[in-house]
Structure 1
Amino acid sequence: METDYLRSFLLVVDSGSMSEAARRQGLTPAAVAQQMRALEREMGVPLLARSGRTVLPTEAGHQLVERGQALMSEVSLIKELLTTGVQGGELRVGTINTALHSELPHILARFVKAHPTVKVFLQSGTTDALYNAVLEGSLDAAVCLYPPFALPKTFGWSLLREEPLVLLAPARLIGADPHELLRSSPLIRYDRRLGGGKQADRYLRATGIVPQERFELSSLLAIGMMVDRGLGVSLVPDIASPLLSGLKLARIALPHPFDTRRFGIMWLRASPRLRLIEGMVDSAAAVVKAAARVAGRNS
């Protein structure tokens, strides 16, 4: 049995949609449908059935879900056993770029102090790509946003921060009306392909604001530098990055209520490296607690 086909099948069942399963894996719906037909031919029974617009597992499909999840965990364990002798202790961690510029270095500092012999491999990417990498076992954990769908029960999640949207403006504009600035100032857009960029776009649509767009980019650090240079304003998540502390910026709260961006760590509960993952989660909790103490003293 192709484990890639089984992974696709589990995603189809989890999401109830071949299109959504395809999106999470970076495939076309036609490719996923072909995988499902091949899997059904190999098993000799129908595994999926349509109910309206939703795809549901058949009785045989339910049995495959139960055993398939255990099989995928076993595949990850086999990979771990085969590589342990060569690589020693290793933790493969995915991260979004904003985490690299904020909490992650502090988390890693605590983690390597507690686990000095562990080698940490870091891979950056979008939240969707990191979710898929954790699901398939190529990454052990990811420091990222909560994905735009409910995490399966097979995943663990530890919240690090909730980041509200703020208007980033030159320091001289502190106290100005944020909506008026969004209407009258050039907008430096946060990339709409990313979670924070999508969130900012939804805010603009909800408030009926049509901005004067000038730039669009994916780096929050670069956006901060451009705002500091007077190139415009930006609607971004309020990240806690020391790299922005030297810039002359105003973080202006928004008057319209809106969802915060949830930022944390995700992992598979059945991971063969669960002990190390839990060590990183503990390190992250200590960093968050220390930051809260500092914020309390400074408030």
Structure 2
Amino acid sequence: MDVRFLDTLISVIESGSVAEAARRLHLTAAGVSQRIRSLEDEIGVRLVARSGRTVRPTAAAAAILDRARTVQREVRDLKAIAASGTLTGEVRLGVIPSLLCGLIPNILSRFAAAHPQIELRVSRNNSVELYRKLLDGEIDAAVTSHPTFAIPKTCEWAMLREEPFVLVTPGWMPPRHPHAILKSEPFIRLDRQVYAGQLIDNYLRKAGIRPRERLELDGLEAIVVMVDRGLGVAIAPDWAPPWPEGLTLRKLALPDRSFVRRTGLLWMRASLRAGLIDAFLEQARMALDHRPGRKGSVRKKRT
């Protein structure tokens, strides 16, 4: 398949006109029409429907449009790398919310300084959605928590940080054995749809604890604020600061010290942006190696 024909299809759909696409591509209208027909013959379906001077994509064209744009972008990246001999292009990075304010800013700062020619697009989502988006080709890599299942061989994983899970209670609550607190106090649960929430659920099951659930939320920051307000206690990974400001919390170590959240970089092994992702991973590791010890604004009492 000639990639130029995909470029032509995208231009026709975006402009809604063969004549306008011809102007943008510096072709004749007949040349544009011929490319579209050749592409339709190769794929075996109609891709555009004409109505007077305007054209619109068929259902088949709409179904392949996002993938065609991905191919177009990847080919452009390859050409740029070959021409310049340096890393350049675009990386679409997904990040889980609890890492956006802690780890990610330092990493992005180093990466932007080291590779100003690489455009980085960052989106936020939970771990399950990021995994789906990665497999569907909607993002190139994800800084996320390790799935609760074995990562397929089609993916690559590099761990960046290991965070112990802790029991978070209001600062005024007297310390007791964590399991005794979990059995007696209202429990604010992390959403079981996300990987960390699934790990928490497995821990409670293994410990034989059936907490008195008050809330189930998809958002660690919101959960610890609820704990501070006295609505209950929660199990959460001890993520990198900053935590929400103005809270007085107590963190209690859980008996099982192997109960941790592993966060890292996940990407597809066959990605055409593997070189760009490797550059990001290198800067991420350097940022973590040189990360200064900082105290968050949360007043924590640790037991």
Confirm whether residue 96 of structure 1 aligns to residue 96 of structure 2. Answer: yes
CA distance in 2, matches of 1:187, 1:132: 29
Q: Give the superposition deviation at 1:257.
A: 5.1
8 A contact 2:77–2:89 mirrored in 1: no
CA distance in 1, matches of 2:238, 2:95: 18
Q: In the TM superposition, what are the counterparts of 1:1-299 in structure 2 within 5 Å?
A: 79-82=73-76, 89-173=89-173, 175-244=175-244, 246-256=246-256, 258-291=258-291, 294=293
Secondary structure of 1:163 counterpart = strand
Secondary structure of 1:243 counterpart = coil
Q: Closer, same or farther in 2 for the Cα pair 1:151/1:205, shift >3 Å?
A: closer
8 A contact 2:89–2:117 mirrored in 1: yes
Percent identity over the alignment is 42
CA distance in 1, matches of 2:186, 2:101: 25
Secondary structure of 2:179 counterpart = helix
CA distance in 1, matches of 2:272, 2:151: 19
CA distance in 2, matches of 1:84, 1:192: 40
Q: Give the superposition deviation at 1:161.
A: 1.2
Q: Closer, same or farther in 2 for the Cα pair 1:210/1:150, shift >3 Å?
A: closer
Code of the residue aligned with 1:225 in structure 2: it is V
CA distance in 1, matches of 2:213, 2:157: 36
Secondary structure of 2:172 counterpart = helix
CA distance in 2, matches of 1:82, 1:92: 15
Q: Give the superposition deviation at 1:173.
A: 3.2
Deviant stretches of 4+, over 6 Å: 83-86
CA distance in 2, matches of 1:192, 1:224: 17
Deviates more, 1:186-195 or 1:93-102: 93-102
Code of the residue aligned with 2:274 in structure 1: it is L
Q: Give the superposition deviation at 1:193.
A: 1.2
CA distance in 2, matches of 1:244, 1:174: 22
Deviations 1:210-261 (A, max 9, x none): 2121111111111111111222110112211313464211110011455322
CA distance in 1, matches of 2:95, 2:157: 14
CA distance in 1, matches of 2:146, 2:280: 18
Deviates more, 1:150-159 or 1:163-172: 150-159
Partner of 1:62: none
8 A contact 1:174–1:252 mirrored in 2: no
Q: Give the superposition deviation at 1:128.
A: 3.3
Q: Give the superposition deviation at 1:174.
A: 6.0
TM-score norm. by structure 1 comes to 0.66
CA distance in 2, matches of 1:282, 1:84: 21
Structure 2: 5+ residue stretches without partners: 1-68, 81-87, 295-303
CA distance in 2, matches of 1:240, 1:256: 20
8 A contact 1:168–1:252 mirrored in 2: yes
TM-score norm. by structure 2 comes to 0.65
Partner of 1:21: none
Deviations 1:133-157 (A, max 9, x none): 3234321111111223322333221
Code of the residue aligned with 2:205 in structure 1: it is R
CA distance in 2, matches of 1:259, 1:76: 39
Q: Give the superposition deviation at 1:131.
A: 2.5
Instruction: Tell me which protein shows more helix as a share of its residues.
Output: 1
CA distance in 2, matches of 1:207, 1:148: 18
Structure 1: 5+ residue stretches without partners: 1-74
8 A contact 2:148–2:199 mirrored in 1: no
Deviates more, 1:110-119 or 1:126-135: 126-135
CA distance in 2, matches of 1:77, 1:183: 53
Q: State the number of aligned residues.
A: 221
8 A contact 1:156–1:267 mirrored in 2: yes
8 A contact 1:91–1:121 mirrored in 2: yes
Partner of 1:26: none
8 A contact 1:174–1:251 mirrored in 2: no
Secondary structure of 1:286 counterpart = helix
Q: Closer, same or farther in 2 for the Cα pair 1:266/1:174, shift >3 Å?
A: farther
Secondary structure of 1:213 counterpart = strand
